[in-house]
Amino acid sequence: MYETLADFLTRPTPFAVSTTETLWTDPHIANEMLRFHLDESSDLASRRTSSIDAFVGWLDRRFPLSGSAVTDLGCGPGLYTSRYAKRGAVVTGLDFSANSLAYARKTAEVASLSIDYRQADYLRSDLAGGQDVVTMIYGDFCAMAPDKRRLILDKIRAALKPNGAFVFDVFSKGMFAELREETMFGPRLMNGFWATGDYIGFKTTMLYRDEMIGLDRYLISTPDRTLQVYNWMQYYTPATITREVLAAGYSAVEIVDFATGDAWQDGATAFAVIAHP
């Protein structure tokens, strides 16, 4: 036990360990993730309906969606893809959560929406070419290691039409400034999020201030197993994300407010990035 806890409290090299798939493939945790996605009272896993509607509204004004080929990477339960399709887009959604995709497909069927949902890891799977717009929403880009970010930037640039756009959001320096290092533990941490029965949960938040990286690390101990989850997050300024995207061969980058599409005014909020191939 001492060795396990001592290791848990040791600061790892940034992005050295990835456990992303655990959140979406463990049956119980995947159900909890879907519940958080659909929870209108919080922004823990996805934004509220008003924010989603506002984003899709300006995206449609800026890049008319009707008739456009649009791919949403990490589409989850289809909160964005369904809205794209309702505006006439030809939509593809990729996600590796079977649970979330089942919900997305059922929702599309009920609404008579034709959406091509694919269970896939967009880092490993081929992306459809000839896309007018590719989106990746709610900080998915920030959760990847630098080499994975470069890989997906390359794949998306190859998938886009010459006049297409990659539109995504990143978490800001202002958001990083509000974080605090802490360690906590307790029975059924997060009210049963991690397992169905009894368990003890530990969480430690570590900050890498020079790199603007945050880590929420969890240690979950049940009577049957011990589970660790690493939630990494890279935070950005407009300058740092612009440099990263341009280094991947994109021709231009715009920084805009996520909700309005207007110029971002700085602060402790996420902002949207429009990358042109």
Domain of residue 184, CATH code: 3.30.1300
Interior/surface letters 16-32, b for 16+ CB within 10 angstroms, e for the rest = eeeebeeebebeebbeb
- On whether residue 228 sits in a domain, the answer given is yes
- On whether residue 261 sits in a domain, the answer given is yes
Q: What is the pTM of this model?
A: 0.94
- The pLDDT tens digits along the chain (277 residues) read 899 999 999 999 999 999 987 877 788 998 888 887 777 766 655 788 889 999 999 999 999 999 999 999 999 999 999 999 999 999 999 998 888 999 999 999 999 999 999 999 999 999 999 999 999 999 999 999 999 999 999 999 999 999 999 999 999 999 999 999 999 999 999 999 999 999 999 999 999 999 999 999 999 999 999 999 999 999 999 999 999 999 999 999 999 999 999 999 999 999 999 999 9
- On whether residue 129 sits in a domain, the answer given is yes
**Which residues 6+ apart lie within 8 Å of 138 measured at CB?**
45, 46, 47, 74, 169
CATH of the domain at 79: 3.40.50.150
- On whether residue 27 sits in a domain, the answer given is no
User: Residues 80, 8: one domain?
Assistant: no
Q: What is the pLDDT of residue 45?
A: 58
User: Residues 179, 166: one domain?
Assistant: no
User: Residues 228, 242: one domain?
Assistant: no
User: Residues 147, 263: one domain?
Assistant: yes
CB burial of residue 79 (10 Å; 0-12, 13-18, 19+): buried
User: Residues 80, 157: one domain?
Assistant: yes
Under 8 Å between Cβ of 205 and 182? yes
User: Residues 141, 263: one domain?
Assistant: yes
- On whether residue 23 sits in a domain, the answer given is no
Task: State the residue range of the domain holding 220.
Answer: 2-17+175-233
User: Residues 166, 155: one domain?
Assistant: yes
Q: What is the pLDDT of residue 190?
A: 94
Q: What is the pLDDT of residue 36?
A: 77
- On whether residue 24 sits in a domain, the answer given is no
- On whether residue 168 sits in a domain, the answer given is yes
User: Residues 163, 188: one domain?
Assistant: no
Q: What is the pLDDT of residue 259?
A: 94
User: Residues 61, 164: one domain?
Assistant: yes
Q: What is the pLDDT of residue 34?
A: 83
Q: How many domains does the chain have?
A: 2
- On whether residue 31 sits in a domain, the answer given is no
User: Residues 163, 182: one domain?
Assistant: no
CA distance 145 to 18: 9
User: Residues 216, 272: one domain?
Assistant: no
Q: What is the pLDDT of residue 26?
A: 86
Under 8 Å between Cβ of 66 and 87? yes
User: Residues 191, 88: one domain?
Assistant: no
Strand ranges for 173-222 from DSSP E: 182-187, 200-208, 213-221
Q: What is the pLDDT of residue 84?
A: 98
